[in-house]
Structure formats: structure tokens, C-alpha cells
Structure 1
């Protein structure tokens, strides 16, 4: 039989080694820091899969890691339950997008709203986009259906482009809605400049992975890429819980 003091010393060394071992979060953060030091993890949680952790990044992006931080997966995680496939990754993204959009003051947007809205959509828009103009023509129909339309700026050609300058003029106008109506009708706007959120909204859209316009975000964070007719869009928007 081994002496008690030897067993105690062995246990002490084993406990110390566990204390020094990296936790899954520490291991994964170390791996990410080595390849991209400025990558910020907003939330870190265990995934539904044993041995896999989720790193939630800005804009609803999700990375999946092995507990030791050595292996990474990027893609969709589905839950097959009751004969249905539920996209868990998409749910995480939608919640994150909704949270980040809700943090943007409505006063920083150009809003077209009915008297008593039932829900809202947020539209990242470019005044030179043909389908954005088509969607804008249907804003009255969307309002009539009880949907508030919140516009955010997304000049596809970036800062300094003609669309960017037009959007700055819209946001700096005394009457933003009237200016937006003119911009969508391709009417000339009086150039204006002021402190405005166009750059911030463009950057946020890029974080969300938006590449084209109109990019429509429902109240729950679900993103719809491209134009949808008012009747179809209203049905989808009003179905959000």
C-alpha cells in the first residue's frame, strides 16, 4: 500500500495541473488571438453538441470550436426535431441583428409610419438602386397594412460615391422624408452636410454581411435580401412573433 502522504502529494499535483490547464474559452480565445488579435468575441457559450463551443461575433456571426481550440467550423448547425430542421445558427444571428438594430436610435433613421404600427421593418437602402425605388413606391401600401418602414443608409459604392452624398443630403435635410421621396424619384437634392449617421449605418450593414440593396430586416432580425412586392412582404412581416 502506498503511503498516505505520497497519495496526497499525487492528488495535489493532479489538481494543480487541472488548475493550470486552459478552459475551453481560454483555449479558443488563444487560438483566435494568434490568427486575428482584434477579433472580438461578444458571447461565448457551449453549443448543443457535446465538446463544441460557440463564439458569437458582432453582426450575429457564429464560429464553432472544439473544446481544445484546435478545430473550428463555420456554417449552419441544425436541430432535427419533430420532423423539422431548425437552423440554430440562423436563430442566433437573427437575435443578434435585432439586438444591434434596436440599439440604433430611431431618430437616426428615416421613418415612414402609420398612426398605429403593428410591426416594423428596417431597410438598408441606396437611392440609385432600381429595386429600392420600386420598394419605396410601395411604402404607402406597407403603411396601410400596419408596417412601419425604417430606412438606414447603405450606399453600395461606399463613402464619397454619388449615392453616399445623396444620402448625406437626405439625412441633413430639414424634412428627411420629403428628401427621401425626392431621392427615390431621382430628383435633384440641394447638397447638405451635417453630423450624420451614414458612415455608421454603412459600417453596420457591412458587419451584417449586406452586399446588395434593398436589404430588409424584419422585427425579429430575419434578413430578406432583395425586393419583395408589398403584399408578400407585409404577410411575412406581420407573421413575425
Structure 2
């Protein structure tokens, strides 16, 4: 009986030591993985030089190929940064672009942190759905989007338009005139829909510099850029039908 107990004790010690060894090994795996990703990030950054900033690196389903997050773009690289793949990584079974899905996830924002007081507010219907738009007064696609918002198929929406003057030298001048008008929303619609600028110049304090800085932080690279309350962005001018579908499904 005594020998059997000693045997049980030795087995317990062996299994205990084995468990501790496995636990220690598991604890080192994330650190090792992080170190590998750091090495890949450094190698790719060295290859790309100062022309691009590598924000993050992740593994992909393809062995030896890494996802390189450049902020507004995702590319793929080997571990040494010697070779780059530019384009979409597609799941052959679902036909879905893994690249676009990752970009949408990486570029999500916290809608609740947007400084909405720095935007022109437009309420249509009960205003229950909300979107934020970065727009330039010289942007033809922004004007097309304003026309879509007027459509009867787009209902119950609140639109926050951040003036984002980046397209032309007089974009800032027009933005200031619109922001400083007695009725900003009326002035915005008059210009975007009817090509009528306010008579007075923009001599008030404006949030344009803050809007430009905000857009840079959010990787806004074109106008219009539309943000939904769930944080996703919709680049480009949507048609009234497309916008109604997005708002109608809550997406």
C-alpha cells in the first residue's frame, strides 16, 4: 500500500511538472509572436523607407505572408520585407475580400467622440439615424451626395457635415463664407445645390483647422467620406437608393 502511494506521488509530481512546463511555454508564445511581428514590421519599414508608415503587422492565413497596415492601405509582405503584394486577398470559397474587410475594421472610428459642434447639422424627418460626412465645397461628388440626401427615399436622418477644404485653393474661402453665414445649413445647401455663395466673406472663427486635423487622424483621404454610427466608413458618394438601403438595414 505504501509503495502504491509513493508511485501515485511520483506520477503526480511528473504531471505537475509537465503542467507547469506547458503553462510556461504557453505564456511565452504571445511574446514570441509579438517579437516576430516586430521584426517583420522593422524589416518592411526599412524596405519602404520614409515614403510610408507601417502602422501594424499581422499574420495572414498564408504561411510566411504578413498583412502590412499602412493606414489607408493594406499590402502583404514576406518576413524579410523583400517582396510586396499589392491587391486584395480573397477567400476562394466565399469570394469575399479579406483585405477590404480588414480595412473596414482597422479604419473604424468611435462615432461618439466626433466633435459634432464643429459640423453643420441637417435633420430630416425625425432624425433618428445619424451619419457624419467630410465634404469639400468644390467636390462634385459631395454635391451629388447632397442631392441624394434630398431624395424622398432617404428619411429620418441627421447629417453632420464637417467642412473639409482640401481640393482647391478657394475651398477654404468658400468653407469660411458658409460657416460664417447667419444660417450655415441654408448657406451650405444654397451652394451645393444651387451654386449660390453667401454675399459676405467669412470673417468669423471657424473649426476648419480642427476639421483638417481630425480628418488626418481618421485617415480621411477623399471627399465625401461618410461615417456611420457603428464606426464604419463609406467612401464616395452614395446614391439615394444605396444610402436608404444602408440606413434601412442599420448597416
TM-score normalised by the chain length of structure 1: 0.69
Where does residue 236 of structure 1 map in the other structure? Answer: 246
Cα separation, partners in 2 of 1:24 and 1:130, compared to 1, 3 Å: closer
User: Offset of 1:173 from its aligned partner?
Assistant: 4.0
Cα separation, partners in 2 of 1:70 and 1:197, compared to 1, 3 Å: same
Q: 1:182-193 alignment to 2 at 5 Å? A: 182-184=190-192, 185-189=194-198, 190-193=200-203
Where does residue 6 of structure 1 map in the other structure? Answer: none
Segments of structure 2 that go 5 or more residues without pairing to the other structure are 1-31
Cα separation, partners in 2 of 1:122 and 1:51, compared to 1, 3 Å: same
1:32 aligns with 2:45: yes
Segments of structure 1 that go 5 or more residues without pairing to the other structure are 1-18
Paired residues of 2:54 and 2:68 also in contact (CA < 8 A): yes
Where does residue 177 of structure 2 map in the other structure? Answer: 169
Cα separation, partners in 2 of 1:62 and 1:232, compared to 1, 3 Å: closer
User: Offset of 1:56 from its aligned partner?
Assistant: 1.6
- Using the alignment, how far apart are the partners of 1:130 and 1:96 within structure 2? 28
User: Offset of 1:90 from its aligned partner?
Assistant: 0.8
Paired residues of 1:64 and 1:74 also in contact (CA < 8 A): yes
CA RMSD of aligned residues (A): 3.5
- Using the alignment, how far apart are the partners of 2:69 and 2:112 within structure 1? 18
SS in 1 for 2:77: strand
User: Offset of 1:107 from its aligned partner?
Assistant: 2.1
Where does residue 43 of structure 1 map in the other structure? Answer: 56
User: Offset of 1:200 from its aligned partner?
Assistant: 0.8
Paired residues of 1:123 and 1:151 also in contact (CA < 8 A): yes
Paired residues of 1:142 and 1:148 also in contact (CA < 8 A): no
- Using the alignment, how far apart are the partners of 2:47 and 2:180 within structure 1? 43
Cα separation, partners in 2 of 1:195 and 1:236, compared to 1, 3 Å: closer
Match of 2:132 among 115, 119, 122: 122
Q: How many residues align?
A: 213
- Using the alignment, how far apart are the partners of 2:128 and 2:54 within structure 1? 34
